[in-house]
Amino acid sequence: MMLKPHRLGALLLALSALPAVPSAPAVAAPVAAATAAVPEGHTADQIGRFLVRFYGEHGPSDHDRRHHVSQVLQERQQTTTGSDVLLCAQNEPQDIAVGPVTVAQAAGVGWATVTTHWGSEKTDTFTAYVRLDSRPIRIDDVICAG
């Protein structure tokens, strides 16, 4: 498998490298009020349930591939021959498990590690990303573990 650069992954790495800066009390009130007016988007629980349904036991359905995948991923699949970009694999796995979901409100994204199970106890993992504001909820990107 080949590692691919990822906008959301790079953003999350950049955000995690920023130092924590306490805000002044005078600034905190207007920021909190502005934040409260904006809907937070999908929760970790909603994203987790979506990913479990989306991936199922053997991979996404044709319907989910058309309606619950970002345009970027759909285009990447069209240009990638011999591999399924949503599963980071060439074949259908025997089983799929979705790990705990992490949500970064500031980055507007949630993600989970997805584990595919193959014969002889072999597994592989990748990370599936969901934008918190996507309507309908959809996979925004997938990063293969390699």
Contacting residues for 112 by C-beta, under 8 A, at least 6 apart: 47, 48, 51, 98, 99, 100, 101, 102, 127, 128
What local confidence, expressed as pLDDT, does residue 126 receive? Answer: 98
Residue 127's pLDDT band (boundaries 50, 70, 90)?
A: very high
Phi, then psi, of 109 in degrees rounded to 5: -145, 150
Sheet holding 123-131, edge to edge: 95-104, 109-117, 123-131, 139-144
What local confidence, expressed as pLDDT, does residue 34 receive? Answer: 46
pLDDT (tens digit per residue) in 70-109: 999 999 999 998 899 999 999 999 999 999 999 999 999 9
| pTM exceeds 0.85, yes or no | no
Q: Is 141 helix (H, G, I), strand (E, B) or coil?
A: strand
